Amino acid sequence: MIRISTIKLSGAGQSDAVVRFGAGANILGGQSDTGKSLLVACLDYVLGAEKMAKKRVPKLALYSHVSVEFRNLDGKFLTMRRHIGGGTSIEYWHQPIDAIGARGPTVEARRRGRSTADDVASILFPFAGVSHARLRKNARGELARLSARTLIPALLVDEVSMISEISPILGKSGYDETVSKRMFAYLLSGRDDDGIVATERPELTAARLNARLELVEQMLIPLDARFKDGADEATTKAIEQLDRTIADAAEEFSVLEGEVESLLQQRQTASNLVLNASNQLSAIGGLSTRYNLLRERYTSDLQRLDFVSEGAHFFGALQEVVCPICDQVMALDHEHGSYRLSEDIQTATRAEAAKIRVQQDELAATMINLEDRRAQQSQRHKNATDALQSVDERLREELNPQVKNKASALEELFRMRLELEGRRGDHDNWQDLRALKARLEADVRANKPANREWETLPLLALAEFCSEVEKVLLSWKWASSVRVTFDESDFDIVVNGQPRQSHGKGVRGLLYSAFTIALLRYCRMYKRPHPGFVIIDSPLTAYQKSTADGGRGVPVDSEIERAFWESLKDVSKETQIIVIENKLPPEGVTQTVHFEWFYGDQATDGLRQGFLPQ
């Protein structure tokens, strides 16, 4: 298996646009229009896409080449470079991207027609440890070589494919999807079609049919024991009754949610009132402190004025002394004396004291008004606090228990429905397997395949893959229990009885991600052929927590998004998952995985604005 270590755009006179990745989980996030999705287009182009990108990126015209550096588990490097302007040639070096020369050997982006020229798969697959496989490409049994383009839907999930109704394996394939289906079978089993589908000898046909018949008979043993009574009409009726009960319970839950929302709004209003009253009381307290200080100052000023007035009155009683200036006795009319000013001083002090007393009266009135305001705000604070406590008590004692009980009841109803749906699905599988057994028995008796019916998917491997998808969804807390099957008509998964393609686009995208990640984990666990990396663009951005019954208000576990991020912390370093997303992961996740964020227009010094340098 390999991983992507560097993606680079380069051009004459331009600073390189470089993004590097690590082993295990990688998260590349940031604002819209910062070039995150352009990275997917760059990798797709190097892996043989016809064009660089579907929508024009103006600054891309400044660059001439896109390069991608891969690294395998042995620590070796493979760097591939392609000219953005077009052409079918791709240069490659078995060196790090920073050490490549001006020119390297070339391969074709993809083979066309009956060409046998080396292409991307010729150098990428051996480097990744993936054997060259020959797969059936049509109903006539003709074979085609596995190409990188056939694998793309399972490796690169762009934001458009993520939410579309196409199969995660078939992608936007052409008129004949056989080779893509056989590619999936190859990933599941590790066996290609070389030497199998081209051989039509009767003895080989009989051996293959007998092997399939034996496998079907083994799978039927437990199902025959469960459904020996035949029809399972009671299960269908029970499911219909449960659906009605779930709808009623969901309606009751919706009413409770409305009451809770109303109380929360009341609580917010009361909380705001408490905060406002507290702020007012704090401000009044501050004013009261300053007014008391002012009152004390007025009293002190009056005392000083009384002292000055009394001093002027007694100044005339002092004994006569010699003037230190003119050496004459200081009489009342002495030129350098101040006795004549005592009366003026007393007059001035009385006038100033009168002004201060007026200010004292005004201050006293203001302080009375302030105390009235304090009493009003204290009452507001008490009323709001009482209202807040009343709302909290009703939420705690009445509504929260009701919501919890109703949610538990709904969860139990869904569990019961899931069990019944599983039984009905098993019954349908039982009928299909019995019909398949009858056809195989007829073919064995005739010792020839009926209507040249080719083998599709390995049943046991498919069941193990579905089990891996269940593990992924359980780790995301998708539901308390999950059952995944595979619909070969749509070539897509069915989760808890509902096809992936029947969901809204957000849920489709998240289930597409689960499919892709589970396939990577399955191939690693069972040592099946897989390049070892996947890129998932915007798995959460379009996801809205909808309801399992079509949007009737039934609550969905709110921890799915958080559990998705947390699961990335456990990704094996032998594989690589690159998630491109607009949403910011939790801090504990960003500190564990390889994380980079594009800040867009909000970028400041030292922060990266986007993929392309500004």
CB-based contact 517:534 (threshold 8 Å): yes
Residue 19 structure tokens: 């993004």
pLDDT tens track for 344-386? 777 888 888 889 889 888 988 999 998 999 999 999 999 989 9
Q: CA-to-CA distance for 552 and 27, rounded, in angstroms?
A: 34
Res 319: pLDDT: 53
Q: Measured between alpha carbons, how far is residue 105 from residues 92, 119, 128, 391, 611 in Å?
A: 6, 12, 19, 75, 28
| Out of 5-19, 77-91, 221-235, 357-371, least confident range | 221-235
Q: CA-to-CA distance for 537 and 29, rounded, in angstroms?
A: 10
249: pLDDT confidence band, cut at 50, 70 and 90?
confident
3: pLDDT confidence band, cut at 50, 70 and 90?
very high
Tell me the pairing of strands 65-72 and 77-83. Answer: antiparallel
Q: CA-to-CA distance for 133 and 145, rounded, in angstroms?
A: 6
CA dihedral 597, 601, 605, 607 (to 10 degrees): 0
Res 591: pLDDT: 92
Can you tell me which residue has the tokens 């507001």? 380
Res 346: pLDDT: 75
- Phi/psi at 241 (nearest 5 deg)? -65, -40
Mean pLDDT calculated for residue range 568-577: 95
3: CB partners within 8 A, 6+ apart: 21, 23, 70, 71, 72, 532, 533, 575, 576
Res 298: pLDDT: 84
pLDDT tens track for 523-544? 999 999 999 999 999 888 755 4
| Out of 227-241, 430-444, 548-562, least confident range | 548-562
pLDDT tens track for 405-441? 888 888 888 888 788 777 777 777 878 888 888 888 8
pLDDT tens track for 258-317? 888 898 898 899 889 988 989 988 999 999 999 899 888 988 888 888 887 776 666 555
- Which of 72, 78, 132 lies closest to 104, judged by CA? 78
Mean pLDDT calculated for residue range 496-504: 88
563: pLDDT confidence band, cut at 50, 70 and 90?
very high
Quote the Cα angle for 375-379-380, to 5°. Answer: 115
Average pLDDT of the chain, as a whole number = 84
Single-letter amino acid code for the residue at 495: V
pLDDT exceeds 80 at position 341:
no
Quote the Cα angle for 452-484-521, to 5°. Answer: 90
pLDDT exceeds 80 at position 322:
no
Domain architecture of the chain: domains with CATH: 2-177+528-544+558-602 (3.40.50), 233-431 (1.10.287.2610)
Tell me the pairing of strands 77-83 and 89-93. Answer: antiparallel
Res 553: pLDDT: 32
pLDDT tens track for 13-41? 889 999 999 999 999 998 888 888 899 99
**42 or 547, which is more confident:** 42
Q: CA-to-CA distance for 609 and 603, rounded, in angstroms?
A: 5
Q: Measured between alpha carbons, how far is residue 489 from residues 224, 425, 457, 571 in Å?
A: 25, 15, 12, 31
- Phi/psi at 539 (nearest 5 deg)? -70, -25
pLDDT tens track for 116-153? 889 999 999 999 999 989 998 887 778 889 999 999 99
Mean pLDDT calculated for residue range 190-198: 73
CB-based contact 478:557 (threshold 8 Å): yes
- Which of 238, 221, 228, 223 lies closest to 421, judged by CA? 238
- Which of 199, 154, 150 lies closest to 176, judged by CA? 150
Res 250: pLDDT: 84
Reported in sequence order, the residue ranges of 77-187 that DSSP labels E, i.e. its strands, are 77-83, 89-93, 106-108, 134-136, 143-145, 156-157
CB-based contact 341:312 (threshold 8 Å): yes
pLDDT tens track for 201-221? 566 667 777 888 888 888 878
**DSSP-assigned beta bridge partners for residue 536:** 157, 579
Mean pLDDT calculated for residue range 583-597: 91
The 3-state DSSP class for residue 324 equals coil
10: CB partners within 8 A, 6+ apart: 16, 17, 63, 64, 65, 67
Percentage of residues in the chain with pLDDT exceeding 90?
Answer: 34
**DSSP-assigned beta bridge partners for residue 492:** 487
Percentage of residues in the chain with pLDDT exceeding 70?
Answer: 87
231: pLDDT confidence band, cut at 50, 70 and 90?
low
Res 603: pLDDT: 79
Res 596: pLDDT: 94
pLDDT exceeds 50 at position 568:
yes
Res 181: pLDDT: 92
CB-based contact 531:537 (threshold 8 Å): no
* Cβ-based burial of 178 (10 A; exposed 0-12, middle 13-18, buried ≥19): buried
Residue 591 structure tokens: 């500190």
Helical spans, DSSP H, in 175-232: 178-189, 202-226
Q: How many helices (H) and strands (E) does the chain have?
A: 13, 16
Helical spans, DSSP H, in 326-458: 342-394, 400-446
pLDDT exceeds 80 at position 320:
no
Which pTM was predicted?
Answer: 0.63
199: CB partners within 8 A, 6+ apart: none
| Out of 49-63, 106-120, 291-305, 507-521, least confident range | 49-63
DSSP annotation of 303: H
Q: CA-to-CA distance for 152 and 497, rounded, in angstroms?
A: 28
Q: Please, what is the angle between helix 233-314 and helix 400-446, to 10°?
A: 150
Q: CA-to-CA distance for 466 and 170, rounded, in angstroms?
A: 17
CB-based contact 580:611 (threshold 8 Å): no
Q: Within a 13 Å sphere around the CA of 393, how many CA atoms are in the beta-carbon half?
A: 6
Q: CA-to-CA distance for 132 and 124, rounded, in angstroms?
A: 10
